[in-house]
Structure 1
Amino acid sequence: METIVSTEGLSKEYGGVFRVKHVDLQIREGEVYGFLGPNGAGKSTTMKMLLGLVKPTQGTVHLFGKQMNDKNRVEILRQTGALIESPSYYGHLTGMENLRVMQKLLDIPEKNLREALRIVRLENQAGKKVSHYSLGMKQRLGIAMALMRFPKLLVLDEPTNGLDPAGIEEIRELIKALPQQYGMTVMLSSHLLAEVDQMATAVGIIDHGELIFQNSLEVLRRKSAHYVAVRTQDSEEAARLLERYRPKREAGWLLLENLSDAAVAQINQQLVCSGVQVFRIEERQRSLEEIFLDLTGKEGAL
């Protein structure tokens, strides 16, 4: 597959501190690339550098096989659409009037405008002043503006921000369909791991400005090893008896990894024969959030 986005050593320094440090991105054609990280990790700054909105301190950006510079930036960006941080709009104009401003600036066909409105389901609100829109409706309008050119690359910063659960599901299904229906490659940022898990085919994880993981979502899921959780009436004695399995303790449970079915049966028998009552044995799998916390060393949810 063609590489749509690639960066080499991409870095940005503010006040002597690197907010983005030596990031090497690889986004291939047709991917939905989830760019994950906590607030302040460098997601928005990286996206701004991809679009030429922020000048890198170091490194290069290649879009569609061309190294972006001041001379070819406008030409390259004709093939992109973006919504960064929050949508820009004229509050005193209606949703349709805002889109018409974009239509004239970008010389976009009328059919694109109508289709973008349909996709984000704002057709019935297009005549309403944007100042009266809810946060979710404003977000939809911003996505419609990004979609109007039906670009080869769509860059979305927190695209479901402000949406209710039904709206999140609609945007999620839209993003998943864009590569197949419209031939787009999508890069989206989020701090919601479950959201990216349901949309992305590839994932990049950034923390303190450094890219600490980049690969397909399937490779990330493989890190989600299965383990067995055992709860007994005496966790101290159970841990002593099962010491050779190197159990980890978590809220009254003993967690044991890499066990066969035979080993689980043997553990159960050993505990019961030693007079330790076994209340529960469960097979579990680490969630994407747990994997993220392991990779970044964070102690709390994003």
Structure 2
Amino acid sequence: MSEITLAVKHLHKKIGKRKIIKNISFELKTGEVFGFLGPNGAGKTTTIRMLVGLIKPTSGTIHICGYNIQKNFPKAMERLGCIVENPELYPYLTGWENLKFFARMLDNVDDQRIQEVVNLVGLNNRIHDKVKTYSLGMRQRLGIGQALLNKPKVLILDEPTNGLDPAGIREMRKFIRYLAEQEGLSVLVSSHLLSEIQNLCDRVAIILNGKIIHTESVHTLLTEQEKMIWRVSPIDKGFAILKKAAPSAKLDKEYIVTPYLEGAIANWSKLLFEAGIDIKEMNRKIPSLEDLFLELTGGSSVE
């Protein structure tokens, strides 16, 4: 079984009389990429700031590799790497000099470890160039390299593909997957790019109004919401038959939408055929994560 590296239990945050975060709980496991999604004002950024120790929770606990961040903050932070918003880099220093500067703030990070990180983030050819000459993707990689210097078990990335072009997004996605699958890190990724969460993450948590409303594997979340799209004639009679068989069936203009239930589809088709209904088209539809997100949050936009 995979080790639990980040455990968040019954987390609350109250500012004045306003409850920002309401009883959030979730876990990250070794080697997984976990997506964190929420509409504007949902509490996503507040949660991340609590996870990395920038603000304190009102109540609840956060454990990183078994260490409570409130009771044993230094030990917990030793096992955490993070980039909140944009990586803080010095543009007139080289990539190596930036890593060297940050290494001085950590214990037992020598030149050998810095070189290991350079190899890991793929900046060997440019590490001795000034950061001001780097592309945005290279700066993101160097920022992640900075976060990896202390060999963390948990890596938190806030909008890691923000501003990247499509090629840079694909490269960053591949890199994050490598960190999880080959290096064994637990990676929490917040992003407003729902398609990237769908392509990148193993599981996703959706937060709304300070509460997590759904946590599931991306695959399960999508397949559970599969639909069957029917185009039949006459549509009114066909809809009456399908509505009786599947009470959640809906009429959408010239189409009928039912759940996709593999064991029932053949029987529903038989009912339509025996009633003299002409089946003109049947399509199985797996929703995108964006469609599902909008459905679960009532159409709220993402941050």
Give the TM-score normalised by structure 1: 0.85
Task: Return the alpha-carbon distance in structure 2 between the equivalents of residues 267 and 112 of structure 1.
Answer: 67
RMSD between aligned alpha carbons? 2.7
Task: Return the alpha-carbon distance in structure 1 between the equivalents of residues 285 and 112 of structure 2.
Answer: 50
Task: Return the alpha-carbon distance in structure 2 between the equivalents of residues 204 and 242 of structure 1.
Answer: 33
Residue 297 of structure 1: aligned partner:
298
Shift of 1:40: 3.2
Residue 263 of structure 1: aligned partner:
268
Task: Return the alpha-carbon distance in structure 2 between the equivalents of residues 190 and 2 of structure 1.
Answer: 25
Task: Return the alpha-carbon distance in structure 2 between the equivalents of residues 147 and 104 of structure 1.
Answer: 14
Task: Return the alpha-carbon distance in structure 2 between the equivalents of residues 288 and 96 of structure 1.
Answer: 39
One-letter code of the match for 2:291?
E
In percent, how many aligned pairs have the same letter? 37
Give the TM-score normalised by structure 2: 0.84
Shift of 1:84: 1.0
Task: Return the alpha-carbon distance in structure 1 between the equivalents of residues 190 and 300 of structure 2.
Answer: 21
Does 2:81 correspond to 1:81? Answer: yes
**Cα separation, partners in 2 of 1:23 and 1:267, compared to 1, 3 Å:** same
One-letter code of the match for 2:258?
L
Equivalences, count: 296
User: Partner of 2:138: helix, strand, or coil?
Assistant: helix
Shift of 1:137: 2.9
Residue 170 of structure 1: aligned partner:
171
Residue 65 of structure 1: aligned partner:
66
One-letter code of the match for 1:262?
N
Does 2:225 correspond to 1:224? Answer: yes
One-letter code of the match for 1:261?
A
Q: Any unmatched runs of 5+ in structure 1?
A: none
Given that 1:223 and 1:291 are in contact with CA atoms closer than 8 Å, whether structure 2 keeps it comes out as no
**Cα separation, partners in 2 of 1:151 and 1:119, compared to 1, 3 Å:** same
1:141-220 alignment to 2 at 5 Å? 141-220=142-221
Residue 99 of structure 2: aligned partner:
99
Given that 2:40 and 2:302 are in contact with CA atoms closer than 8 Å, whether structure 1 keeps it comes out as no
Task: Return the alpha-carbon distance in structure 2 between the equivalents of residues 293 and 262 of structure 1.
Answer: 31
**Cα separation, partners in 2 of 1:263 and 1:248, compared to 1, 3 Å:** same
C-alpha offsets along residues 53-96 of structure 1, whole Å, 9 cap, x if unaligned?
11112222222112222x63122211211111111112222222
Given that 2:9 and 2:26 are in contact with CA atoms closer than 8 Å, whether structure 1 keeps it comes out as yes
One-letter code of the match for 1:45?
T
User: Partner of 1:139: helix, strand, or coil?
Assistant: helix
Shift of 1:101: 0.8
Task: Return the alpha-carbon distance in structure 2 between the equivalents of residues 61 and 285 of structure 1.
Answer: 35
C-alpha offsets along residues 216-260 of structure 1, whole Å, 9 cap, x if unaligned?
4454244223x3212357655654565534531335321122442
Shift of 1:279: 4.1
Given that 1:139 and 1:161 are in contact with CA atoms closer than 8 Å, whether structure 2 keeps it comes out as no
User: Partner of 1:89: helix, strand, or coil?
Assistant: coil
One-letter code of the match for 2:230?
V
Select 2:255's aligned residue among 253, 256, 264.
253
